[in-house]
Amino acid sequence: MDVKTFGVIGSGQMGNGIAQVAATSGLNVIMSDISLDFAKKGLANIEKILSKNVEKGKISAEDKDAILGRITITEDLKDMAKADFVVEAATEREDLKFKIFRDLDEICGPDAILSTNTSSIPIGRIAAQTKRPEKVIGMHFMNPVPVMKLVEVIRGIATSDETFKLTWDLSEKFGKTPAEAADYPGFIANRILLPMINEAVYCLYHGVGTREDIDTVMKLGMNHPMGPLALADLIGLDTCLAIMETLYEGFKDSKYRPCPLLRKYVEAGWLGRKTKKGFYDY
């Protein structure tokens, strides 16, 4: 199948980043959200990033206008009927994703591929919400999408070889490097990353070190570009908690138990950068 129109569900940090790389690759993009105001905010973020790229000489003003001209925003999920390939990038909530996939299954054409940017929820579980499980796949981008090169490609138990190859090729078309992960909770990236972040939160919780010292140790001792607590703030503490809960529920192993301090921050509404307060103030 030749993908010409690419749908993105969600216009937040991940969604607008995915929309940007898809439009940059030459595809027509439909980006939807639950309100047009949210979608407009996502489009404005894309415009801001592209403008910076023009200033740095990475792209021309004409390129910027062409990319933006390929993006259409909407608040009506039914507009996804025009898409050949859809990526869902909504909040990391199983009930929400299930509903979106049930709706997409009814809205999209029978040949359309339905993919999810889920950070941790098993693909087979999402695919079971549709009548086309062979056309459902995981396409997990990294944050920030325009910069990070990796895309985890995860097939569910019913995902066809054709769907997998198309998704792999599309990742490369976007200028990304795909890596295949098996359909286990957290896949590869977050099965490794989130327990590390969770352990850093435990270190803070137990008074092993201050937030600055914990992050400094990982940056200078392990050569990480960002400390785990600052990274958690960037990801969103609610997302970190949701992923840890998925790992804990999926494996029934105490090593994945979310730190009580992480849960306390989320319950207080301290979600990181997006609320201007998390482990650090912004």
Report, as an integer, the average pLDDT of 53-57.
Answer: 97
Torsion of CA 76, 165, 186, 218, to 10 degrees: -110
Contact by Cβ (8 Å): 194, 186: yes
pLDDT at 167: 98
Is 138 one of the annotated binding-site residues? no
- Reported as a single tens digit per residue, the pLDDT across 177-226 is 999 999 999 999 999 999 999 999 999 999 999 999 999 999 999 999 99
Of 113, 191, 123, 173, nearest to 153 by C-alpha is: 123
Is 277 one of the annotated binding-site residues? no
Q: How sure is the predictor about 267, in pLDDT bands with cuts at 50, 70 and 90?
A: very high
**The CATH fold of domain 193-275:** N-(1-d-carboxylethyl)-l-norvaline Dehydrogenase; domain 2 (1.10.1040)
Contact by Cβ (8 Å): 187, 152: yes
pLDDT at 111: 97
d(CA 63, CA 278): 37
Confidence check: pLDDT of 27 > 90? yes
pLDDT at 1: 80
- Reported as a single tens digit per residue, the pLDDT across 104-154 is 999 999 999 999 999 999 999 999 999 999 999 999 999 999 999 999 999
Is 10 one of the annotated binding-site residues? yes
User: What number of helices (H) and strands (E) belong to the chain?
Assistant: 11, 8
Distant-in-sequence, close-in-space partners of 193: CB < 8 Å, separation ≥ 6: none
Tell me whether the CATH fold assigned to 5-182 matches the one assigned to 193-275.
Answer: no
Output phi, psi for 142, to 5 deg: -100, 155
Q: How sure is the predictor about 252, in pLDDT bands with cuts at 50, 70 and 90?
A: very high
d(CA 258, CA 50): 37
Is 13 one of the annotated binding-site residues? yes
> Any idea which residue has 């999810």 for tokens?
116
Report, as an integer, the average pLDDT of 16-41.
Answer: 98
Is 33 one of the annotated binding-site residues? yes
Of 102, 109, 168, 95, nearest to 137 by C-alpha is: 168
Is 14 one of the annotated binding-site residues? yes
Contact by Cβ (8 Å): 122, 190: no
Note the maximum CA span of the chain: 55
pLDDT at 123: 97
Distances (CA, A) of 39 to 31, 45, 98, 146, 177: 7, 10, 21, 18, 28
- Reported as a single tens digit per residue, the pLDDT across 57-89 is 999 999 999 999 999 999 999 999 999 999 999
Segments making up each domain of the chain, as ranges:
5-182, 193-275
Is 143 one of the annotated binding-site residues? yes
d(CA 33, CA 17): 14
Contact by Cβ (8 Å): 36, 11: no
pTM of the model: 0.91
d(CA 259, CA 237): 11
d(CA 77, CA 86): 11
Report, as an integer, the average pLDDT of 43-63.
Answer: 97
Is 119 one of the annotated binding-site residues? yes
Assign 222 to helix, strand or coil. Answer: coil
Estimate to the nearest angstrom the gap between the alpha carbon of 26 and the chain centroid: 21
pLDDT at 107: 98
Architecture of domain 5-182: 3-Layer(aba) Sandwich (3.40)
Is 17 one of the annotated binding-site residues? no
Catalytic residue annotation? 119, 140, 152, 190
Percent of the chain past pLDDT 70, that is, above it, reads 100
Distances (CA, A) of 138 to 106, 141, 153, 166: 19, 10, 6, 12
Mean pLDDT score across all residues of the chain:
97
